Amino acid sequence: MITAALPSLAQTLRHRRERLAQQADFPVVLWSGQPQSRNFPANTHPFRSSSHFLYFAGVPLANAAIRLERGRLTLFVDEATPAEALWHGPSPSREELAQQMGADAAYPLADLPQWTAEAATLPAMDAATLAAQQSLLGRLVGLVAEAEGHDRQLAEAIVQVRLCHDAGAIDEIRAAAAASVRAHQAGMAATRQAATEAEVRAAMEQVIMAHGMTCAYNSIVTTHGEVLHNEHYHHRLRPDDLLLADVGAEAASGWASDITRTWPVSGQFSPTQRDLYDLVLAAHDACITEARPGVEYRDLHLLACRVLAEGLVDLGILKGQPGSLVEQDAHALFFPHGVGHLLGLDVHDMEDLGDLAGYAPGRSRSDRFGLAFLRLDRPLQAGMAVTIEPGFYQVPGILQDPARRERYQGMVNWERLSQFADVRGIRIEDDVLITAEGCEVLTSNLPSAAEAVEALVGG
């Protein structure tokens, strides 16, 4: 087969397989997964293929598996029966699918058992596929964190291959980012006419859906940004509220984006909102300025903490030396999460592998209040995509916790803090591609400066 004649997707996939083969000299079988029932068997959640399958197979097939060995791809999938074609319409033949992905061979699923001996794998997300894996491989397939032998080596190899993105991946992330930018613009524009969070969310997700994409994760669109994993949308919008929207598109190919903006419902930040918004933005901008190959992502996180601590001291909310405050995790009272994560086929890329992707070999999560939630601790490399997403939150569970209040009693000016009660949560998040020279903000079409945000809301 002449490589130059391959279509672009097949060529990209061939290159990925070859990179994997350099890391793993044993056979690998990866399953795509199958649809999961919502409330009765035929009513399923929209199907999402396994990210590992998508990375090497490129096509979001359900009920399929691939075998990878020494750069060769063998596809296992059943063709639609006449009855299925009748209800679901025409679908590509096995041969057409094999050609799309540049497979070397393709067989019905019934042939798969002959090809699984000694194969390494990763556990499927859905229980039915996991059961099928275990049955075919004749062994348990457990959590990657506890995997041994070839399964463990496979997980490590895949991390090496998927950590830095090829041109095909970057094109797809760019497309998802572009749709996400338009979704945020639509959300800002819809806010002043909207009565509820749900209406703004709907305006945003409409844009993503109109692009033929899905949401990469359950959207957060809330006036209660202090609830970090907020998936409720029922609050009415009040003119004094800030609205925090963390909404990202996923391309049909599975590649994700992840954007957060925070804007004033009225179109005008109050002075206190503006002070804290500008501070979060300063932390965000500082990280982006410093992001380049060789820089430790953990140091970007600590840079964000430092900028926030300095600003909070300047505003009179924190008391003390910023460096010392960060060492004591005082910043984490207001910024209790990490500054971001890997971005790829998963919005938290490869989080199904636990911390294997996020943490460099030999590193593990800190116990420190200000570091425990950091999802990424590796030196940056060209081709990595990461988010940069500092924030400021007044989380009652943290600020009213008696133990924390006692520990940080002398470091917080609680009276001064009470003047910022109209800020419950602010986060500013962009998607950043590390390049040879530094970095490129893939979501830079969406402004983050306070005035520009106000203009988009239409104050």
CA-CA distance, 301 to 386, in Å (whole number)?
Answer: 12
| Shortest reach from residue 431's CB to a copy of itself, in Å | 17
SS3 251: coil
**Smallest gap from residue 251 Cβ to a copy of itself (A):** 13
Q: Longest Cα pair distance anywhere in the chain, in angstroms? A: 74
Q: Could you tell me the smallest distance in angstroms from the CB atom of residue 209 to a copy of itself?
A: 4
- DSSP-H helix ranges across 242-291: 271-290
Of 247 and 317, which CB lies nearer to a copy of itself in the complex structure?
Answer: 247
Question: Residue 431 in contact with residue 173, Cβ under 8 Å?
Answer: yes
- Tell me if residue 211 falls in helix, strand or coil: coil
Shortest Å distance, C-beta 285 to a copy of itself: 27
Joined together, the tokens standing for residue 235 give 């609050």
What does the alpha-carbon distance between residue 374 and residue 393 come to, in Å, rounded to a whole number? 16
75 to each of 90, 123, 124, 200, how far by Cα in Å? 19, 18, 17, 42
What separation in angstroms does the CA of 261 have from each of 132, 303, 405, 447, 452?
A: 42, 20, 29, 9, 12
Q: How many Cβ atoms sit within 10 Å of the Cβ of residue 88?
A: 10
Q: Which stretch binds a copy of itself (CB under 8 A): 1-9, 341-349, 381-389, 431-439?
A: 341-349
Q: Choose among 104, 47, 52, 112: nearest CA to 76.
A: 112
Instruction: Output the smallest distance, CB 182 to a copy of itself, in A.
Output: 12
What is the rounded distance in angstroms from the CA atom of residue 298 to the CA atom of residue 300? 5
Report in angstroms how near the CB of residue 418 gets to a copy of itself at its nearest: 20
- DSSP label at 418? H
Both structure tokens of 282: 């300063």
Assess contact for 227 and 244: CB atoms under 8 A. no
Our CB check for a copy of itself shows the closer of 322 and 344 to be 344
Q: By CB under 8 A, is residue 89 in contact with a copy of itself?
A: yes
Do residues 105 and 75 make contact, with C-beta atoms less than 8 angstroms apart? Answer: yes
- The interface region with a copy of itself, picked from 174-182, 266-274, 361-369, 390-398 by CB under 8 A, is 390-398
Size of the site for a copy of itself (CB under 8 A): 63
Please, which residue, 306 or 375, has the CB nearer to a copy of itself? 375
Kindly indicate which of the ranges 22-30, 34-42, 103-111, 377-385 contains the residues binding a copy of itself, using the contact rule CB under 8 A: 34-42
From candidates 179, 188, 202, 343, binder to a copy of itself by CB under 8 A: 202
Distance CA 157, CA 350 (A): 12
DSSP-derived secondary structure letter, 75: E
Q: Which of 94, 165, 201, 378 binds a copy of itself (CB under 8 A)?
A: 201
Distance (Å, rounded) from C-alpha 148 to C-alpha 312?
47
Task: At 78, list the tokens.
Answer: 């059943």
Tokens, residue 379: 């030196």
> Hey, which residues between 238 and 267 contact a copy of itself (CB under 8 A)?
254
Only one of the segments 67-75, 119-127, 263-271, 318-326 lies at the binding site for a copy of itself (rule: CB under 8 A); that segment is 119-127
- Which residue, 229 or 238, is less far from a copy of itself as judged by CB? 229
Applying the rule CB under 8 A, the residues between 211 and 230 that interact with a copy of itself are 211-212, 217-218, 224, 226-230
- Name the phi and psi angles at 412, rounded to 5: -115, 135
The neighbouring-strand residues paired with 250 are 214, 256
Distance CA 396, CA 407 (A): 16
Smallest gap from Cβ 374 to a copy of itself, in A, equals: 15
Q: Does 346 bind a copy of itself (CB under 8 A)?
A: yes
Q: Which of 22, 25, 78, 88 binds a copy of itself (CB under 8 A)?
A: 88
* Stretch of 124-132, 237-245, 276-284, 320-328 lying at the interface with a copy of itself (CB under 8 A): 124-132
Output 1 or 83, the one with its CB closest to a copy of itself. 83
Site string for a copy of itself, 283-322 (x = CB under 8 A): ----------------------------------------
How far is the C-alpha of 115 from the C-alpha of 27, rounded, in Å? Answer: 9
- Encoded one letter per residue, x for contact with a copy of itself by CB under 8 A and - for no contact, window 150-189 reads ----------------------------------------
Q: Given the complex with a copy of itself, which of 70 and 88 has the nearer CB atom? A: 88
Nearest distance from C-beta of residue 125 to a copy of itself, angstroms: 5
Q: Which residues bind a copy of itself (CB under 8 A)?
A: 36-46, 48, 50-51, 82, 85-89, 125-128, 196, 198-199, 201-203, 205-212, 217-218, 224, 226-234, 254, 336, 345-348, 350-352, 395, 397-398, 401
